[in-house]
């Protein structure tokens, strides 16, 4: 069994290995391979700002496991084991990945290893932990059930994430009508103006950096990184999908949501030109939408501005969609969890991410 750096000529082998793993799951729809490919081919601003090392673990000509070691200049003390994939019953292969990770930490004076973070939280965080038979919404992580157990022997610090879901018929802001009247007089809410796409992306990036910097796994985001990420997404979303809150001409919060484009994907397919055409022709057939991010800068967190953002979302989605799902929220973030529970009727999927000390790897 050998661990080696994935060469340029082995990139297709890497991608084919990933595809072979998910071909076994009937519900799988591929919304992650475009991002993986950008890292594998080291394209884009984030990769320019990072040390990217794709890894394959083989026995003979057979691939047993794969990952990408990432060290970002904005997360310089941490080694990420990102985009991890492995066959079942391959603990020895995973141990090789961890052993080399420990060596890299010693060589580069890194103090922690993360598992489940794929470059940045804006690209993906967490291994799915339950409800593997349910459908996969656009932007959600999916993996075989055995992935988290591979890392339990390393005494990881565990970060639990939860998503919510609900039916639109059960959402009603009538009880908050008086409060919302006061909030809407105090704050201004607007859609993103995609005719000024680059400047609006700067607003989005600035808000992310102000709102999330103290959150686990989050680190400084740069303008070009989000610009590139949304440049692909803007073919599917509209200004209404990125809502901003303002006070005294200062943008203080945002909410990102979009239809569940996976409803337009066939099994195993990847979002692309076909999906774009289907979205233009059949967007009204999408029944569910996804609440991806909502945040307000710290000094406004108890001002009611978030309630106003949710109300704006409700006004744009009522009558158009029958259900919704949220992205993951850290279980320890009780303020966000309570807001999610206000919208959602139940906790839905659970995810887990790990931080591991190199000292725990023997």
**309: Cβ–Cβ under 8 A, 6 or more apart, which residues?**
189, 243, 245, 253, 254, 255, 294, 296
- Domain locations in the chain as residue ranges: 2-162+353-360, 166-349
Task: Tell me the HSE value of 63 on the side-chain side, using a 13 A CA sphere.
Answer: 23
Exposure on the CB side of residue 50, measured as CA atoms within 13 A: 33
What confidence score (pLDDT) does residue 280 get?
Answer: 46
Per-residue pLDDT of 274-286, as tens digits, reads: 544 444 444 568 9
Tell the burial category of 346 from Cβ atoms under 10 Å away from its Cβ (0-12, 13-18, 19+). exposed
Q: Where residue 362 falls among pLDDT bands split at 50, 70, 90? A: confident
Confirm or reject CATH 3.30.300.10 for domain 166-349, answering yes or no. no
Condensed to tens digits (0 to 9), the pLDDT of residues 94-104 reads: 999 999 999 99
- Of 51 and 32, the structure prediction assigns the larger pLDDT to 51
**Average pLDDT rounded to a whole number, residues 48-73:** 97
pLDDT at 338: 54
Share of the chain above pLDDT 70, in %: 91
* Helix, strand or coil, per DSSP, at residue 208: helix
- Return d(Cα 115, Cα 81) in angstroms, integer: 5
In sequence order, what are the beta bridge partners of 166?
324
Look at residue 140 and give its three-state secondary structure. coil
Fold category of 2-162+353-360 in CATH? Aminopeptidase (3.40.630)
Residue 86 clears pLDDT 60, i.e. is over it: yes
Structure pTM? 0.92
Provide the pLDDT for residue 273.
44
- Are domains 2-162+353-360 and 166-349 of this chain identical in fold? yes
Q: How many other CB atoms sit within 10 Å of the CB of residue 260?
A: 22
Question: What is the tens place of the pLDDT at every residue in 229-261?
Answer: 999 888 889 999 999 999 999 999 999 999 998
């Amino acid at each position: 069994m050998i661990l080696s750096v994935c060469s340029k000529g082995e990139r297709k082998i890497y991608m084919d290995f990933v595809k072979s793993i998910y071909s076994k799951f009937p519900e799988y729809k591929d919304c992650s391979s475009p991002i993986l490919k950008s890292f594998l081919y080291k394209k884009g601003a984030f990769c320019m700002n990072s040390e990217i090392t794709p890894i394959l673990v083989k026995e003979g000509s057979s691939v047993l496991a794969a990952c990408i070691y990432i060290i970002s200049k904005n997360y310089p003390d941490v080694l990420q084991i990102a985009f991890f994939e492995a066959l079942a019953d391959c603990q020895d292969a995973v141990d090789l990945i961890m052993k080399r990770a420990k060596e890299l930490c010693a060589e580069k004076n890194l103090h922690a290893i993360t598992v489940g973070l794929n470059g940045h939280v804006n690209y993906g965080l967490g291994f799915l932990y339950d409800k593997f038979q349910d459908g996969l919404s656009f932007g959600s992580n999916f993996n075989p059930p055995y992935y988290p157990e591979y890392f339990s022997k390393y005494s990881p610090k565990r970060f639990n994430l939860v998503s919510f879901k609900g039916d639109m018929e059960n959402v009603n802001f009538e009880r908050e009508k008086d409060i919302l009247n006061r909030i809407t007089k105090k704050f201004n809410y607007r859609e993103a103006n995609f005719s000024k796409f680059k400047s609006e992306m700067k607003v989005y990036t600035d808000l992310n950096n102000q709102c999330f910097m103290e959150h686990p796994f989050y680190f400084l985001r740069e303008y070009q990184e989000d610009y590139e990420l949304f440049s692909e997404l803007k073919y599917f979303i509209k200004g209404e999908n990125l809502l901003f809150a303002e006070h005294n001409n200062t943008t203080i919060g945002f909410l990102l949501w979009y239809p569940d484009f996976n409803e337009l994907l066939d099994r195993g397919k990847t979002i692309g030109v076909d999906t774009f055409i289907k979205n233009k022709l059949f967007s009204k057939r999408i029944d569910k939408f996804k609440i991806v991010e909502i945040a307000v800068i710290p000094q406004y967190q108890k001002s009611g501005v978030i309630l106003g953002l949710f109300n704006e979302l409700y006004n744009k989605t009522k009558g158009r969609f029958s259900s919704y799902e949220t992205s993951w929220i850290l279980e320890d973030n009780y303020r966000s969890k309570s807001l999610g529970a206000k919208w959602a009727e139940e906790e839905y999927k659970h995810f887990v991410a790990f931080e591991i000390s190199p000292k725990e790897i023997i």
